[in-house]
């Protein structure tokens, strides 16, 4: 099994920090088609993942594969413009590496975003979902292996993974900004991918209380909570999943990216506004 020691990750974090002036406490992971948030970041310092020894490289369209340091609404931030997924062939431990690297760079609050298929029939394409909980159907867990207590405990709780204050703040900002009808709260589930879900899988998770489904985020959140970060998660609903057998329409990545292109501006505004109001002396 692939594993990275605390010292390996400390080395990667030190390498990155030696290349930039910025010292952020907030990290943001941009999902499929959501990397445009980087355009709002000022005083940018950019490091492509392939210039960071040991860092995983994004191989999926819509994931630029760059670390962007800078300021967003006067807050120092680091953005992962693009993530990696288990279905790309990376071990869960490798998926965990960027989050642990952020932890050792001093990140205290992690925002995770993703593109997801709408299971909840009240959700429309282009809506957003503030994540209140997740269902891990991927069959993988990045905490498998020897536990290093310097990161966190062997058996971390996961029942309040998504910070309640940040969830409330997001919903109230959406109201203030006049697009509350586009923002829901709900449960995200992750399957391994890379195939989109079958009709039966969608029906099953719908019964389980899932509102949106995707192929990422959960390993990052597990690792972030394990090492004591505050987590906020948001999905952009890029498509409605197929819930009827023998329907002509099929899910596809082009539609996901197209919706990201058309609809991510509200997501960006909402995230920027939350960031602006964060108290990062936590």
Ligand X SMILES: O=P(O)(O)O[C@@H]1C[C@H](O)[C@@H](CO)O1
Feature table: binding site for a purine D-ribonucleoside: 197, 239
Rg, C-alpha atoms of the chain:
18
Tokens for 269? 């505004």
* Residue 88 designated active-site: yes
**Residues 215, 194 contacting (CB under 8 angstroms):** yes
Cα separation, 87 vs 90, whole angstroms: 7
* Residue 184 designated active-site: no
Choice between 85 and 94, CB closer to ligand X: 85
Site string for ligand HPA, 23-62 (x = CB under 6 A): ----------------------------------------
**Residues 233, 29 contacting (CB under 8 angstroms):** no
Q: Is 5 helix (H, G, I), strand (E, B) or coil?
A: coil
Residues making up the binding site: 32, 63, 83-85, 115, 197, 216, 239
Work out the number of other CB atoms within 10 angstroms of the CB of residue 42. Answer: 9
* Residue 134 designated active-site: no
Q: Is 216 in the site for ligand X (CB under 6 A)?
A: yes
Choice between 138 and 213, CB closer to ligand HPA: 213
When binding is defined by CB under 6 A, the residue of 35, 56, 98, 214 that contacts ligand HPA is 214
Q: Is 216 helix (H, G, I), strand (E, B) or coil?
A: coil
Cα separation, 239 vs 258, whole angstroms: 10
Q: Is 196 in the site for ligand HPA (CB under 6 A)?
A: yes
**Residues 143, 223 contacting (CB under 8 angstroms):** yes
Q: Which does 216 bind (CB under 5 to 8 A by kind): ligand HPA, ligand X, none?
A: ligand X
Contacts with ligand X, residue ranges (CB under 6 A):
31-32, 60, 83, 85, 114-115, 193, 214-216, 253, 256
Q: Catalytic residue positions? A: 32, 63, 85, 87-88, 115, 215-216, 239, 253
């Amino acid at each position: 099994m692939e594993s990275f020691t605390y010292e390996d990750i400390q080395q990667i974090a030190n390498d990155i920090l030696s290349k930039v002036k910025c010292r952020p406490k907030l990290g943001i992971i941009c999902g499929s088609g959501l990397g445009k948030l980087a355009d709002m970041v000022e005083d940018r310092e950019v490091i492509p993942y392939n210039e960071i020894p040991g860092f995983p490289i994004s191989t999926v369209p819509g994931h630029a594969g760059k670390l962007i340091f800078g300021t967003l609404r006067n807050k120092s931030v680091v953005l992962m413009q693009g993530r990696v997924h288990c279905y790309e062939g990376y071990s869960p431990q490798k998926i965990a590496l960027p989050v642990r690297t952020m932890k050792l760079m001093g990140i205290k609050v992690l925002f995770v975003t993703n593109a997801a298929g709408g299971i909840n029939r009240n959700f429309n394409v282009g809506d957003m979902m503030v994540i209140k909980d997740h269902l891990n159907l991927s069959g993988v867990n990045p905490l498998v292996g020897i536990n290093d207590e310097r990161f966190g405990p062997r058996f971390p709780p996961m029942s309040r993974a998504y910070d309640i204050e940040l969830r409330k703040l997001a919903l109230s900002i959406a109201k203030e900004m006049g697009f509350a009808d586009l923002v829901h709260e709900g449960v995200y589930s992750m399957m391994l991918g890379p195939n989109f879900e079958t009709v039966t899988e969608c029906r099953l998770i719908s019964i389980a209380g899932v509102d949106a489904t995707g192929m990422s985020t959960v390993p990052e959140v597990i690792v972030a909570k394990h090492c004591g970060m505050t987590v906020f998660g948001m999905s952009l609903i890029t498509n409605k999943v197929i819930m009827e057998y023998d329907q002509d329409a099929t899910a596809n990545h082009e539609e996901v990216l197209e919706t990201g292109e058309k609809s991510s501006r509200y997501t960006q505004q909402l995230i920027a506004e939350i960031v602006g109001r964060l108290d990062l002396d936590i």
